[in-house]
Amino acid sequence: MNKVLWRALGRNTIISIILFGALLGLLYVAEILFPSLQGQLIQFGDPSWVVGIPASVIGVAYILTVRDPQNYTGFYAGILMSILLGVQFVLRGKGSADSAFLFFFVFIPFQMMSIYKWSRSKDDGGASFEPKFLDTPRLLMSIAMLIIITAGDYLMATYILQENGLTENMVPKLLSGLLISSSFLANYWLIYRKTDSWIYWLLYSLAGIGLFVLIRNPFSIVLFTFFLVINSMAGIAWIKATKPENLNWAKIFVKK
């Protein structure tokens, strides 16, 4: 395996640890300055929250690493992140069963497939596996899948997980479904090095912010805002790495 790529993963992990250390420090200070936030930002008594911290640290290292379209080592961190997030959602209980299933049985296989495809293209020189935007037919198919998965998750949340009415908690259920569908498509298109994957990561971050604003979870609002910044940086890097002939549907928006 390429030592340069592994060193980059190591550096990004250190950067992520420093960033999260600073973030937790700021949250601790915020709880001191604003007593009304006590126990809402720092929750060491909650096992799922505790598991979520290393999952988030490793997840940011994963994103920072695959920001380089040639560095497949980030997906090893992605697999570890998915295991931890799956455990986190199991600890949260029945209402998070769909998310736990997604991380264990969808994301991990996707990331293993990404390691295979990205490492093979690296061995072949990487020339045939450059970042590209989707062509128009696949773009339309991807949008259709986003709608179908979101609707499917909405129905599952309504009739199985929450057992309530179709119009009850409509917005949170829609945002939760969008969170699932966007992360599914983001992971899927990363396998094939499609720049569109970062559009779905941004949608994932925005849906998370909206959802946690509604359910009043200050820590997760801060966390997903942090993810929004990191994913935006990675998306910009991939757009810059996409050659003009690979812009496809995005050529009307991106000038090279």
Q: Which amino acid is it at 20?
A: F
- Residue 16 and residue 122 in one domain: yes
At residue 24, the pLDDT reads: 92
Domain housing 225: 130-256
- Residue 70 and residue 160 in one domain: no
- Residue 222 and residue 256 in one domain: yes
Mean pLDDT, the chain, whole residue set:
91
- Residue 184 and residue 233 in one domain: yes
At residue 197, the pLDDT reads: 97
Domain boundary among 81, 109, 126: 126
> What domain count does the chain have?
2
- Residue 90 and residue 119 in one domain: yes
DSSP string, the chain: --HHHHHHHHHHHHHHHHHHHHHHHHHHHHHHH-GGGTTTS--TT-HHHHHHHHHHHHHHHHHHHHTSTT-TTHHHHHHHHHHHHHHHHHHH-GGGHHHHHHIIIIIHHHHHHHHHHHHHHHHTTSTTS--BPPPHHHHHHHHHHHHHHHHHHHHHIIIIIS---TTTTHHHHHHHHHHHHHHHHHHHHHHTTBTTHHHHHHHHHHHHHHHHHHTT-HHHHHHHHHHHHHHHHHHHHHHHHS-GGG-GGGGGT---
- Residue 135 and residue 120 in one domain: no
- Residue 208 and residue 163 in one domain: yes
At residue 178, the pLDDT reads: 96
Domain boundary among 126, 155, 187: 126
For the chain, list residues with pLDDT below 70. 1, 94-95, 122-128, 256
- Residue 136 and residue 119 in one domain: no
Contacts of residue 15, defined as CB under 8 A and 6 or more positions apart, other chains included, come to 61, 64
- Residue 58 and residue 148 in one domain: no
- Residue 110 and residue 8 in one domain: yes
At residue 122, the pLDDT reads: 59
- Residue 120 and residue 18 in one domain: yes
At residue 130, the pLDDT reads: 87
Domain boundary among 126, 142, 176: 126
- Residue 56 and residue 164 in one domain: no
